[in-house]
């Protein structure tokens, strides 16, 4: 009977330890999850900055085209008045050619102006879309962070209770069998869970086969036995075999 009590004490300690591990694991991951979400918003902000830069660059280029057109038109006016000051036919024609060349440039620059203007409109559309997405993402992340932080606080609260529960279970096991508690701690450092049921003639922790003789001894609770392959504490669970 006392062996059974010891095993039960180990089982209860393990139950609390597993829940502590689970909650601590969750709380360890939460800051990282929050960081990842924040980074995805940062990436969107970078994209938005890039689009804004692109827009400014295009505006600069478009306005440059406008300045060019004005300059060409001024040059054309000058050439036109120059025509009055020449007497030779060749000179006159040369100026006319020059005017034609400038008019072509005006046309080209005007076309480029329109193309850039359209591109700017397109980028502005993308910027508006990105801003809306960013706003939505920001709202979602605020909600996410709040939820996660609340979850963390709840887990902390549960953990506080579990830590004192664990202390009680440890004291109990210590009083029953301090060597067993130390062995439990040693196994737990390497393997968790520490206790493994025998399922289908194998250790449920590592699935190594357990000799029939050993199974009998475990069933009869002659001692506390350990898996020879993974060194977990093995125990007999009535259900695990009779259900088959
Ligand atoms: Zn094992």
Tens digits of residue pLDDT in 229-244 = 999 999 998 764 444 4
Pairing type for strands 233-235 and 195-199 reads parallel
Q: How far is the CA of 199 from the centre of ligand 1 (A)?
A: 11
Q: How far is the CA of 49 from the centre of ligand 1 (A)?
A: 57
pLDDT of 1: 56
Per CATH, is 13-177 categorized as 1.10.287.1490? yes
Tell me the pLDDT tens digit for each residue of 16-55: 999 999 999 999 999 999 999 999 999 999 999 999 999 9
Instruction: Please give the average per-residue pLDDT across 135-141, as a whole number.
Output: 95
**Cβ atoms of residues 166 and 20 within 8 Å:** yes
Instruction: Please give the average per-residue pLDDT across 69-77, as a whole number.
Output: 97
Distance of CA 233 to the CA centre of its chain: 38
Instruction: Please give the average per-residue pLDDT across 105-111, as a whole number.
Output: 97
Q: How far is the CA of 205 from the centre of ligand 1 (A)?
A: 5
- Across 59-63, 67-71, 79-83, least confident range: 79-83
Instruction: Please give the average per-residue pLDDT across 83-93, as a whole number.
Output: 91
What are the boundaries of each domain within the chain? Answer: 13-177, 191-242
C-beta atoms surrounding 175 within 10 Å:
10
Instruction: Please give the average per-residue pLDDT across 161-177, as a whole number.
Output: 97
Q: What is the pTM of this model?
A: 0.73
Q: How far is the CA of 218 from the centre of ligand 1 (A)?
A: 14
C-alpha–C-alpha distance, residues 118 and 96, integer Å: 33
Q: How far is the CA of 42 from the centre of ligand 1 (A)?
A: 47
Strand blocks (E) in the chain: 195-199, 202-203, 225-226, 233-235
Q: How far is the CA of 120 from the centre of ligand 1 (A)?
A: 68
Q: Is 10 exposed, middle or buried (0-12, 13-18, 19+ CB in 10 A)?
A: buried
Distance of CA 225 to the CA centre of its chain: 44
Instruction: Please give the average per-residue pLDDT across 1-24, as a whole number.
Output: 94
């Amino acid at each position: 009977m006392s062996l059974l009590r010891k095993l039960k004490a180990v089982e209860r300690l393990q139950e609390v330890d597993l829940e502590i591990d689970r909650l601590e694991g969750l709380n360890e991951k939460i800051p990282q999850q929050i960081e990842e979400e924040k980074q995805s918003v940062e990436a969107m902000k970078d994209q938005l900055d890039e689009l804004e830069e692109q827009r400014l660059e295009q505006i600069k280029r478009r306005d440059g085209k406008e300045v060019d057109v004005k300059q060409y038109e001024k040059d054309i006016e000058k050439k036109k008045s120059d025509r009055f000051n020449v007497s030779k036919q060749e000179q006159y024609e040369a100026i006319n050619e020059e005017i034609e060349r400038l008019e072509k440039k005006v046309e080209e620059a005007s076309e480029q102006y329109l193309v850039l203007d359209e591109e700017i409109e397109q980028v502005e559309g993308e910027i508006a879309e990105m801003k809306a997405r960013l706003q939505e993402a920001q709202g979602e992340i605020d909600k996410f962070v709040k939820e996660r932080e609340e979850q963390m606080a709840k887990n902390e609260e549960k953990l506080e209770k579990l830590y004192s529960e664990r202390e009680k279970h440890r004291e109990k096991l210590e009083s029953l069998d301090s060597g067993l508690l130390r062995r439990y701690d040693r196994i737990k450092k390497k393997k968790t869970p520490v206790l493994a049921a025998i399922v289908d003639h194998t250790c449920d922790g590592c699935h190594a086969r357990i000799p029939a003789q050993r199974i009998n001894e475990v069933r009869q609770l002659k001692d506390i036995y350990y898996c020879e392959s993974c060194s977990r504490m093995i125990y007999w669970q009535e259900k695990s075999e009779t259900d088959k």
